[in-house]
Structures are given as C-alpha cells and as structure tokens.
Structure 1
Amino acid sequence: MIRRIGEVPQKDRSYRLRPGAYAILPLGNGILTTAQIAPRVDVQLPGGGVDPGESPLQALHREVLEEIGWRIDRPRRLGAFRRFVFMPEYDLWAEKLCTVYVAHPVRKIAEPTESDHETLLLSAAEAVEMLGNAGDRMFLKRYLG
C-alpha cells in the first residue's frame, strides 16, 4: 500500500489519478529544487505529471528539463506517496501518485521552459525546511539519513 500524505480525500468528491515523477538532485553541498512562482511561491522537487504514452522515467527527464533546464543521469527509485489535491492549473481534483527518485544532475543546458518556475540550489537543511509538501520533505529526509 502506498502511503497517503496530506489531506484525507473528501467522500463526496471525485478524484482523477495523476501519476507523477519527481527527483532529489544532489549537487555539491546542495539540493537542486524548483520554485513555482504562481499562483504563490511553492518550493518543490523538480518533476511532474506522466503524460499518456510516457514512462515515469521519460516524464522525469522531461519535467526536470522543463522546470530547471538540467539533464540528469542514473535515476534510482526511492518510493512513492499519494496526495489528494486540487490542481487549479487544470481545474482538477487529483489523486497524485508521486514517485520519487534520486538522480545525478549532469549539466544545465537551458533555462526553464516553464515560465513560472525558477531554479534554486538550497542547502539540505534549507531544502527540508522550504519544500512545500510533506511527501517531498519525507523523502528528502530519508535520503539525507
């Protein structure tokens, strides 16, 4: 069974399953993260939804490139968690199935293509404190030991 993090699903609401892939990206003494600026600042592990016909690893590579402009290598699956949330950008109530990986950042090749994202290199302690959702924080704490 995959652990639920955050809000309990509302019994009178219909949720659409939204699988996603997210990465812990250690770089030097820090962790690469992304800050989604709109509609409010939200620091996140880079990643996002798996598109139809795409594998989770394909989505991970694509989303990291879109959100922070980096190529990654050797992703290793750490685990998964579920969140029940409203996604205003899609006008959708979603059951997000979030698979978390650790990967090696290879190099920055572009600026983020998602205009509302900015790349942040945070210390491990800053990343744990600033990540906007409890599932991301839980996996980062586990990774850091």
Structure 2
Amino acid sequence: MIRRFGEPVRKDQKYRIRHGVYAVLARDGDVLITYQAEPAPEFQLPGGGVDPGESPLRALHREVYEETGWTIAQPRRLGAFRRFTYMPEYDKWAEKICTIYIARPTRRLGPPTEPGHQALWVPAKDAARILDNEGDRHFLARAFGGAGL
C-alpha cells in the first residue's frame, strides 16, 4: 500500500494514473527546490511526469534538468506516495504516483529550461516549511533523518 497525502479522493471524479519522479537534492545543508509560478504558485521538489516509453531514471534526470538547470548523479529511491489532484495544465484529474529519489547535484548547466520555473537553494529547514506538497515535506524530512525539520 502506498501512503496517500493531500486532498481526499472525490467520489464524483474519475482519476487517471500519472507516474512522476522527484528528487531531494542536498548540498551543505541546503536543498535545491523549484518555484513554479503557474498554473498556481508552488514551491516543490524538482521533478515531474514520466513520459510514455521513458524509464523513471531517465525522466528524473530530464525533469531535474528542465526545472533547475542542474545535472545529477547517484539517484537512490527513497520511497513513493500518491495524491489525488486536478492538473489544470492537462485538464484532467489524476492519481499521481510520486516516486522520490535522493541524488547528488553535480553541475549547473544553466537556468531552468521549463517556462515558469525558478531554481532555489534554500536551507533544509526552510524548505521543510515552504514546500507546498505534504508528500514532498515528508520525504525531505526522511532524507534528512528527521533532523529537526
């Protein structure tokens, strides 16, 4: 059973499965997060959907680069959660299966290539407070062993 975070399931909606991969990227006590301005302002772990025919690890590398401009190394799976939500950018209700990895940020190649995204290095304690997704906050704390986050 995969733990659920977020909004309760709406019985009047049909949800489609959407697999996604996300990364906890830590360096010297700071965490690399993204700020997405649209469709709603949100601080989040970098990551996103796995495209058809794409492996989860390939999607992780692609999504982190698109949203932060950074390359990563040594991704290790931390766990997974699910959440039920409306995705306005796709005009669909989704059961998002979110797999979280911890990885080492290796090199900044430039700014994010994904429109509307900004990459931010923030102290881990601040990230634990400002991440908008309860599942992201849970796995950030898990990556830091609780450590007072």
Shared fold, TM over 0.5:
yes
- Tell me how far apart the structure 1 counterparts of residues 142 and 11 of structure 2 sit (CA, whole Å): 31
Q: Which residue of structure 2 lines up, in the alignment, with residue 22 of structure 1?
A: 22
Give the Å deviation of 1:111: 1.3
Give the Å deviation of 1:37: 1.1
Give the Å deviation of 1:10: 1.1
Q: Which residue of structure 1 lines up, in the alignment, with residue 108 of structure 2?
A: 108
For residues 76-105 of structure 1, give each alpha carbon's deviation from its aligned partner in whole angstroms, at most 9, with x where no partner exists.
Answer: 000000000000011010000000000000
Indicate yes or no: 2:9 matched with 1:9: yes
* Unaligned stretches of 5+ residues in structure 1: none
Indicate yes or no: 2:98 matched with 1:129: no
- Tell me how far apart the structure 1 counterparts of residues 127 and 143 of structure 2 sit (CA, whole Å): 12
TM-score by length of 2: 0.95
Q: CA RMSD in A?
A: 0.8
- Tell me how far apart the structure 1 counterparts of residues 73 and 81 of structure 2 sit (CA, whole Å): 23
Runs of 4+ in 1 over 3 A off after TM superposition: none
- Tell me how far apart the structure 2 counterparts of residues 37 and 48 of structure 1 sit (CA, whole Å): 15
- Tell me how far apart the structure 2 counterparts of residues 90 and 27 of structure 1 sit (CA, whole Å): 33
Q: Which residue of structure 2 lines up, in the alignment, with residue 53 of structure 1?
A: 53
Q: Which residue of structure 1 lines up, in the alignment, with residue 38 of structure 2?
A: 38
Q: Which residue of structure 2 lines up, in the alignment, with residue 118 of structure 1?
A: 118
TM-score by length of 1: 0.97
Aligned length: 145
